[in-house]
């Protein structure tokens, strides 16, 4: 079993969280980052580029999840922020819901991708 520390929700207080996160990360295999965009969270972007730059050195292996309406743009935007040596040890997960671009907002009932959204 591998363990990944998720720091979702801490991006506003990353500097204060760093000592605690680093201590926990000594026992983790990955640092998990949720990059969330519209339509999943309508009012803000979770983990903007500055936050990625700050946490990328906390652990050599990243577990990055992209949850937004245009994941290919996020990959293009964030890949240069991760050093090449770190990219080889990390991975990116694109949530399947990210490709449901025609929905105006994310709703849990839309999770089942086998059922087309109502018009």
> Considering the chain, what is the average pLDDT of its residues?
79
Q: Over 70: is that where the pLDDT of 101 sits?
A: no
Q: How confident is the model at residue 11 (pLDDT cuts 50, 70, 90)?
A: low
pLDDT confidence of residue 26: 94
Nearest to 58 by CA among 84, 9, 19, 10: 19
pTM of this structure: 0.74
| CA distance linking residue 60 with residue 78, whole number of Å | 16
pLDDT at residue number 50: 85
What is the per-residue pLDDT for 113? 47
Return the higher-pLDDT residue of 114 and 62. 62
Adjacent-strand bridge partners of 33: 64
pLDDT of residue 117: 54
Pure H helices in the chain: 14-25, 49-55, 71-78, 84-87
CA distance 55 to 41: 21
* pLDDT tens-digit series, residues 33-72: 888 887 777 777 788 888 888 888 899 999 998 887 778 8
pLDDT score, position 28: 95
* C-alpha distances out from residue 74 to 46, 56, 57, Å: 12, 16, 20
| pLDDT (0 to 100) of residue 59 | 92
In the predicted structure, residue 23 carries a pLDDT above the cut 60: yes
């Amino acid at each position: 079993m591998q363990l990944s520390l998720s720091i979702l929700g801490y991006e506003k207080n990353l500097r204060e969280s760093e000592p605690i996160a680093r201590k926990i990360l000594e026992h983790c295999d990955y640092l998990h980052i949720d990059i969330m965009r519209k339509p999943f969270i309508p009012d803000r972007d979770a983990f903007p580029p500055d936050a990625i730059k700050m946490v990328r050195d906390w652990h050599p292996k990243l577990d990055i999840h992209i949850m937004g309406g245009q994941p290919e743009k996020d990959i293009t935007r964030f890949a240069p922020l991760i050093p090449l040596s770190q990219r080889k040890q990390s991975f990116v997960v694109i949530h399947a819901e990210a490709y449901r671009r025609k929905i105006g907002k994310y709703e849990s009932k839309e999770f089942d991708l086998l059922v087309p959204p109502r018009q």
